[in-house]
Amino acid sequence: MGTRNYRRKTSHSEHGPGDGGRTGSWRVERPILDKSLCIPCKRNKEACFICWLFCPDIVISRTIPPKIDLEYCKGCGICAEECPTKAITMVDEAEFSKEDKE
């Protein structure tokens, strides 16, 4: 035996989403997009995307229309607050039916 073959192992992680679980369940308000007010939707070309830049949880896509991943959106409301045209409003989670949450 001796000590020669002892190996010291260090821990390492694999990367992936949802380390904090399905963080959408933290949400008390849900961001709802009104496409008729959203700049890239109206112009049908890439523009604005301020919501995409500031979303702390990287759950808004940089697409037309911007899509919000409700599985992980924590409902901070920064997108709604920063949107220049008020295209996003925060709605009480309790307004949505149970199936909707699944």
Partner 1 sequence: MQAKTTILSLPTEEFVHPGTRACTGCGLAIAYRVGLKALGKNTILVVPPSCLTVLQGLFPVASTKLPCLNVTFASTAAAATGILATLKSQGKTNIQVAAWAGDGGTSDIGLQALSGAAERGDNFIYLCYDNEGYMNTGVQRSGTTPLGAITANTPFKGKLQQKKDVPAIMAAHHLSYVATCSAAYPLDLYDKIIRCKDMPGAKYFHIHIPCPPGWGYDPRYGIKVGRLAVETGYYDLYEIVNGEFKLTAASEKLVEKRKLVPVREYFRAQSRFKILTDEQIADIQNQIDAKWAAYYKKDEQQ
The site for ligand SF4 (CB under 6 A) is made up of 31, 33, 38-40, 48-51, 55, 57, 59-60, 66, 68, 73-79, 83, 85, 87-88
The item of partner 1, ligand SF4, none sharing an interface with residue 38, based on CB under 5 to 8 Å by kind, is ligand SF4
Establish if 44 lies at the interface with partner 1 (CB under 8 A): no
Question: What residues does 29 pair with on adjacent strands?
Answer: 92
Contact 72, 23 (CB under 8 A): yes
Partners of 33 in the beta sheet?
88
Asked if residue 38 lies in contact with residue 70, where contact means CB atoms within 8 angstroms, the answer is no
Q: Establish if 100 lies at the interface with partner 1 (CB under 8 A).
A: no
The dihedrals phi and psi of 91, each to the nearest 5 degrees, come to -115, 135
CB of 83 to ligand SF4, least distance (A): 3
Residue (of 69, 70, 57, 65) closest to 85 by Cα position: 65
Q: Does 86 bind partner 1 (CB under 8 A)?
A: no
Using CB under 8 A as the criterion, which residues of the chain lie in contact with partner 1 when the complex forms? 11-23, 26-27, 46-50, 52-54, 56-59, 62, 69, 71-72, 74-78, 80-82, 90
